[in-house]
Homo-oligomer: A and B are copies of this chain.
Amino acid sequence: MCRFVPFAERDAHSMAKLKQFSREYKEKDTVINIGDITIGAKSKVIIAGPCAIESREQLLAAARIVMQGGADIFRGGAFKPRTSPYDFQGLNEKGLEYLAEVRDVTGMKVITEVIETTAVHVVEQYVDILQVGSRNMQNFPLLKAVGRSTKPVVLKRGMAATLDEWLLAAEYILYEGNQQVILCERGIRTFERYTRYTMDLSSIPVLKKLSHLPVIVDPSHATGQHELVSPMAMAALVSGADGLMLEVHPNPSEALCDGPQSLDSAEYIPLMYQLKKLEKFLHEVNSKKCYEETVVATISN
């Protein structure tokens, strides 16, 4: 009698061939340089800003807060993928102009999401980093298009994507020649209802074993609740993430998109202060000196 084979067993074989994302292909961590910012190196990168670009005033107000907190990169969505066609769909190219203005005024690097192959060329003229959102993680023409861009790409995890599928989506970008891929964990869909998604922090150390690519975390989308962003942002760095993406809005209660998960300045500024303390702590703990202390402590115990 022939054994009925679980689909999962067959599926595992797709990972057999050597992939460019893998540690087997490239052992050393990929470090991405954007001006004076590095992603994937020792220091943690913070990307912050509003979900959607709503107006010039809103964007400049958000940028002021974000810069004050000391984030490295400013985010803002010009093209918004929204569940319902009746929701605000973004300012499109006008939004890109405002974003460029923020860059000029503040000196911060900027990132925005691109949702269409035909828009990649326009978007990359305005921004320093392209983002591919969760809903497009397996939009393969889009992956190929950003794979031909010279700009780094933040690739968000699909809400039901396994780590293998996510890494293979990254492979599409690498395969086209763009080596600057940053993975961004943003929560997976589960049965739990208090949070918008379930933030899968154990994915961080797993990805670090499987791949040389930098990994950041978006606790705003993962939790969907601004009260949860601070503890989860801290936990993400501790789990080994190379940085964070945070939603910050000058007035969350009037946001056109994802207000409930956005930090206002009263939440964002203290969080940034704590993140810097945490980063310093993590450097110490992971330092050679600390390691030696640990060894001594272990032996003497």
Residues of chain A having any CB pair with chain B under 8 Å:
1, 3-4, 6-12, 14, 17, 23-24, 27, 68-70, 81-87, 115-118, 135-136, 138-141, 158-160, 162-165, 168-169, 171-172, 175, 188-196, 198-206, 209-210, 222-225, 227-228, 231-232, 234-236, 238-240, 260, 269-270, 273-274, 277-278, 281, 284-285, 290-291, 293-295, 297-298, 301
Q: How far is the CA of A69 from the CA of B224 in the complex (A)?
A: 38
Whether B285 lies near A168 (C-beta < 8 A) is no
The residue from B23, B160, B196, B274 contacting A160, defined by CB atoms under 8 A apart: B160
Name 27 A/B residue pairs within 8 A (Cβ), A-sorted. Answer: A1-B27, A11-B196, A14-B87, A85-B172, A162-B191, A188-B192, A188-B198, A190-B190, A194-B203, A195-B206, A198-B198, A198-B202, A199-B201, A201-B232, A204-B231, A205-B231, A205-B232, A232-B239, A238-B278, A269-B297, A270-B291, A270-B294, A270-B295, A273-B297, A277-B281, A277-B284, A277-B285
CB-CB under 8 A for A168 and B84, given A141-B116, A201-B235: yes
Q: Are B168 and A83 in contact (CB under 8 A)?
A: yes
Q: A135-B138, A202-B223, A234-B239 are in contact. Are A194 and B4 (CB under 8 A)?
A: yes
Considering the complex of A and B, which 3 residue pairs feature the smallest CB-CB distances, nearest first? A160-B160, A8-B193, A135-B138
CB distance from A125 to the nearest CB of B (A): 19
User: How far, in Å, is A215 (CB) from chain B's closest CB?
Assistant: 12
What CA separation (Å) do A209 and B195 show in the bound complex?
13
A115, A201, A209, A284, most chain B CB atoms within 10 A: A201
Known contacts A139-B136, A171-B84: does B193 contact A6 (CB below 8 Å)?
A: yes
* Contact A191–B160 (Cβ < 8 Å): yes
Residues of B within 8 A of A1 (CB): 23-24, 27
* Copies of this chain, count: 4
The contact of A115 among B141, B224, B260, B285, by CB within 8 Å, is B141
- Rounded to whole angstroms, the CA-CA distance of A120 and B174 in the bound complex is 27
Nearest-neighbor residue (CB-CB) of A268 within chain B: B298
In the assembled complex, the Cα of A52 lies from the Cα of B70 at a distance in Å of: 49
Contact among B7, B139, B189 with A196 in the assembled complex (CB-CB below 8 Å): B7
Cβ-closest chain B residue relative to A299: B269
A87 to B175, CA, bound (A): 13
| Structural contact, B189 and A160, CB atoms closer than 8 A | yes
In the complex formed, the residue of B with least CB distance to A191 is B189
Q: A162-B193, A222-B202, A228-B202 are in contact. Are A273 and B260 (CB under 8 A)?
A: no
| Complex CA distance for A201 and B27, rounded to whole angstroms | 30
